[in-house]
């Protein structure tokens, strides 16, 4: 099944859709094998593995390569975090075609100005684009998509920028009218109150998406109660990998041998399984048999 149709099917059930962030093919594959519904190809994590700020430093091509590598490696849908759409409505039109034809299930664009900075950065620049200009980007993405199931998520940064709830709700209405399939309401508060207030006041029909990074203690049950349809755990895998590697390297540096770190790593066989290395051996056997039948091997 196409990844975009798969995502639509999940959105049609009455379950919350659980999406987890990844930063490369291996982390995406792990997200898939642990049973998540979809993968978030997030700009924060992809920027981090390139050691650059999440501030529109990488180009569309680099983000696209990262997301399409994940889509190639996995069967579950990949949702690409496309920041502000890498330019204006024309760039969004081009970008949408490119992402959709690579088998990515959906894109998310946010209503900040380019270049953007990560929304959770203390003192970050969170200037908003006008509602009209962002609506033009949503319209352009809709015109560009080929398959109805390709999903367009409009991300509202009004609460992040501090402009307020009224503006956030007004923009959600506008973006739904422009054709957004889902509305992502982002918050950097440490509690979910403003997200709940938004969800309870929202009169539209587009399903809501949240990213509970700062308000991490919110329960899934509470999200469901407030009619939130999708939860994205955006950067936990990147941060966990960073911590695990840092701890391991500290131990390795001062160790006389590697005995002590053996239980801090996956066994080689787990990596062979991830790579489907065992398939290579069975494919070799099949080839050998065919060559024998052709008389090349006695």
For residues 52 and 58, is the Cβ–Cβ distance under 8 A?
A: yes
How far apart CA 19 and CA 35 sit, in angstroms, is: 10
C-alpha 78/C-alpha 215 separation (Å) is 24
Contact 159, 194 (CB under 8 A): yes
Cα–Cα nearest to 40, from 253, 233, 295, 252 = 233
Q: Looking at 37, 54, 81, 83, which residue is catalytic?
A: 54
Q: Give the helix/strand (H/E) hosting 39.
A: strand 38-41
- Closer to ligand SPV by Cβ: residue 91 or 214: 214
Q: How far is the CB of 272 from Mg ion (least distance, A)?
A: 33
What is the spatial distance between Cα 193 and Cα 125, in angstroms, rounded to a whole number? 23
Interaction between residue 43 and ligand SPV (CB under 6 A)? yes
Cis peptide leading into residue 115 (ω within 30°): yes
Q: Report which of 103, 96, 108 is spatially closest to residue 21, judged by C-alpha positions.
A: 108
What mask of x and - would describe binding to ligand SPV in positions 200 to 219, judged by CB under 6 A? -----------x-x------
For 124, the token pair is: 């970050």
4 binds, among Mg ion, ligand SPV, none (CB under 5 to 8 A by kind): none
Q: Select from 118, 126, 135, 237 the one that contacts ligand SPV (CB under 6 A).
A: 118
Shortest Å distance, C-beta 113 to Mg ion? 15
Buried-state track 247-264, b at ≥16 Cβ within 10 A, e below 16 = eeeeeeeeeeeeeeeeee
* CA 154 – CA 98 distance, rounded (Å): 18
Give residues in contact with Mg ion (CB under 5 A): 43, 81
Residues from 226 through 245 that contact ligand SPV (CB under 6 A): 234-235
**Strand, coil or helix: what is 41?**
strand
Q: Does 126 bind ligand SPV (CB under 6 A)?
A: no
CB of 268 to ligand SPV, least distance (A): 31
Site for ligand SPV in 78-117 (CB under 6 A): 81
Which partner in ligand SPV, Mg ion, none is near 161 (CB below 5 to 8 A by kind)?
Answer: none
Report the residue number, 74 or 80, with the smaller CB distance to ligand SPV: 80
81 is catalytic: no
Closest distance of CB 213 from ligand SPV, Å: 5
Q: Does 31 bind ligand SPV (CB under 6 A)?
A: no
Adjacent-strand bridge partners of 53: none
Judged by CB under 6 A, the residue of 20, 27, 36, 42 near ligand SPV is 42
Cα separation, 291 vs 74, in Å, equals 32
Smallest gap from Cβ 177 to ligand SPV, in A, equals: 24
Residues near ligand SPV (CB under 6 A), total: 12
Considering only 36, 44, 99, 215, the residue that binds ligand SPV (CB under 6 A) is 44
Residue ranges that bind ligand SPV, judged by CB under 6 A: 21, 42-44, 81, 118-120, 211, 213, 234-235
Return the active site residues: 54
């Amino acid at each position: 099944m196409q990844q975009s149709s798969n995502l639509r099917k999940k959105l049609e059930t009455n379950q919350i859709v659980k999406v987890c962030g990844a930063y490369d093919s291996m982390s995406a594959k792990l997200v898939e094998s642990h049973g998540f519904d979809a993968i978030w190809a997030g700009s924060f994590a992809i920027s981090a593995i390139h050691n650059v700020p999440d501030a529109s430093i990488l180009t569309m091509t680099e983000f696209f390569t990262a997301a399409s590598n994940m889509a190639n490696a996995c069967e579950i849908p990949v949702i690409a975090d496309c920041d502000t759409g890498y330019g204006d409505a024309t760039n969004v039109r081009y970008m949408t075609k490119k992402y959709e034809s690579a088998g990515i299930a959906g894109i998310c664009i946010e209503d900040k100005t380019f270049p953007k900075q990560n929304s959770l950065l203390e003192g970050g620049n969170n200037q908003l684009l006008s509602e009209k200009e962002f609506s033009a980007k949503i319209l352009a993405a809709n015109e560009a998509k080929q398959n109805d199931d390709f999903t367009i998520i409009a991300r509202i940064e009004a609460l992040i920028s501090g402009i307020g709830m009224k503006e956030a709700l007004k923009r959600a209405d506008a973006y739904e009218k422009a054709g957004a399939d889902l509305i992502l309401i982002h918050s950097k508060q440490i509690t979910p109150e403003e997200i709940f207030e938004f969800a309870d006041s929202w009169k539209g029909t587009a399903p809501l998406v949240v990213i509970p990074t700062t308000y991490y203690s919110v329960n899934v049950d509470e999200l469901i109660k407030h009619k939130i349809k999708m939860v994205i755990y955006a950067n936990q895998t990147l941060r966990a990998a960073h911590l695990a590697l840092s701890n391991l390297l500290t131990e390795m540096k001062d160790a006389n041998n590697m005995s002590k770190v053996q239980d801090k790593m996956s066994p080689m066989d787990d990596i062979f399984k991830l790579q489907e290395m065992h398939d290579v051996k069975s494919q070799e056997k099949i080839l050998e048999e065919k060559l024998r039948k052709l008389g090349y091997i006695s």
